[in-house]
Amino acid sequence: MSAPRKIIHIDMDAFFASVEQRDHPPYRNKPIAVGGKPEQRGAVAAASYEARKYGVHSALPSRIAKQRCPHLLFVTPRFEVYRAVSQQIREIFYRYTDLVEPLSLDEAYLDVTQNKLGIPSAMAIAREIKQAILQETHLTASAGVSINKFLAKIASGLDKPDGLYLISPEQAASFVESLPIEKFYGVGAATARKMESLGIHTGLDLKQWSETDLVQRFGKAGRYYYRVARAEDDRPVNPNRIRKSIGAEESFAEDLEELETMTAMLKKLAEEVVERMNKHQRYGYTLTLKIKYADYQQITRAQTVNVLLREASVLSNLATALLLEHLDRSRKVRLLGLTVSNLTEPSVPLCYDQLLLELPPFFHS
């Protein structure tokens, strides 16, 4: 039997908010939210730990965040700064291994089983990385160390902020058995509720189910649940993660009611998505329209076509058709989004037969 892998998951602590507190002394030790202001109908992108004590968290509407914490300070995001700091942190990772799999600007997996410095202890490497991040960026990170990605990801969240937690090979099975099901990475709130309705409250409960029964109840994800209940996760750390989708969305200061305004916004979003696809040189066959209504209920509707989506006019036409088919005209819209998925690299020149979509006469010039 081969020796266990040594996987580290690094997760920056309240990354966007911590960068703002680092760069702006008046924000330090204050509850701050990075994101749109309440009067702009925005949402929280990140919250400082001081704000989290009041129940403020990412994706929370700014209006509600302000209600929970009246003295909350709202800060406009500076993504170019966050990207630069993220790159600085990744350069630290590459001192130890090239097997780095970024998940976002503020977290990544590292496989240090074989590392550049020949350090036998993954905990020692994690400790050095945390220290280097603190010295060079003046920010704290939490690290989880274990034998696979599933366990390392959970471990990094167990001792935040500035945490360092090890789940050893000997502890893995018993740790998962005692873990509440809502703490499983990959089990969202809706799935957790479904599992609990079936009597699955811990990893031990989940372990009693056969793979066949889990697949029957949860689809393909059942295979994943079956394995992680046994502390098994053979997914490699992939330094060349393939982007699965490219999209853009926009929230509106005032809810939209008129179709003409919505279609104009879809045209703008289509142009943004195409610009991003051109940048990555990846195009797709599936377009998904996201509609969020004024009451925050949202729907997504997708259509797959048999030619690559790579022109803004095509995306715009297809998105408009989806909008007309699925929009509830009696409700106001606060957000629209477009995402292209089922991506591939173009293997043919960009000139191709235009995809034609039949639209109602209202939209023909």
- In angstroms, the CA 4 to CA 159 distance is 23
Using alpha carbons, list the distances in angstroms from residue 51 to 4, 19, 57, 60, 205.
39, 15, 8, 12, 35
The yes-or-no answer on residue 107 being catalytic is yes
277: closest CA among 234, 320, 340, 329?
Answer: 340
Which two tokens mark 265? 């916004």
Task: Say if residues 269 and 311 touch (Cβ distance below 8 Å).
Answer: no
Beta bridge partners of 152: none
Q: With 0-12 CB in 10 A as exposed, 13-18 as middle and 19+ as buried, what is 296?
A: exposed
Spatial strand order in the sheet of 333-344: 245-256, 333-344, 283-293, 298-309
Which two tokens mark 318? 């297809």
Which two tokens mark 166? 């090890």
Task: Write the single-letter amino acid at 312.
Answer: A
Collapsing DSSP to helix, strand or coil, 85 comes out as helix
Angle between helix 259-280 and 312-326 (nearest 10) = 140
DSSP 88-145: HHHHHHTTT-S-EEEEETTEEEEE-SS-TT--S-HHHHHHHHHHHHHHHHS--EEEEE
Half-sphere exposure of 200 (CA within 13 A, CB side): 24
* CB neighbour list of residue 127: distance below 8 Å, 6 or more residues apart: 143, 164
Which residue among 20, 50, 101, 107 is the active-site one? Answer: 107
Using alpha carbons, list the distances in angstroms from residue 340 to 264, 270, 304.
18, 10, 10
Task: Write the single-letter amino acid at 4.
Answer: P
User: What residues are labeled active site?
Assistant: 107
